[in-house]
Amino acid sequence: MLRDQRVKQPTNRSKPIHMHKGSTISGMVKNTNKVIVEVQIRLIQAEKSRF
């Protein structure tokens, strides 16, 4: 049991580092998606105001 815990701990410690790298990339993607959605909403509102 003790050996299993020792083996599992390093893997658990290394995972958060990978998660942070992924979260920064996903955060950038989410920000770009928000900007794209805002632009689309503005375009739709502009089209509605024309008619």
CA angle 18, 22, 27 (to 5 degrees): 150
pLDDT tens, the chain, 51 aa long = 555 555 555 555 555 555 556 667 777 788 888 889 999 999 999 888 876
What CA–CA distance (Å, rounded) separates 33 from 38? 9
Question: What pLDDT is recorded for position 31?
Answer: 82
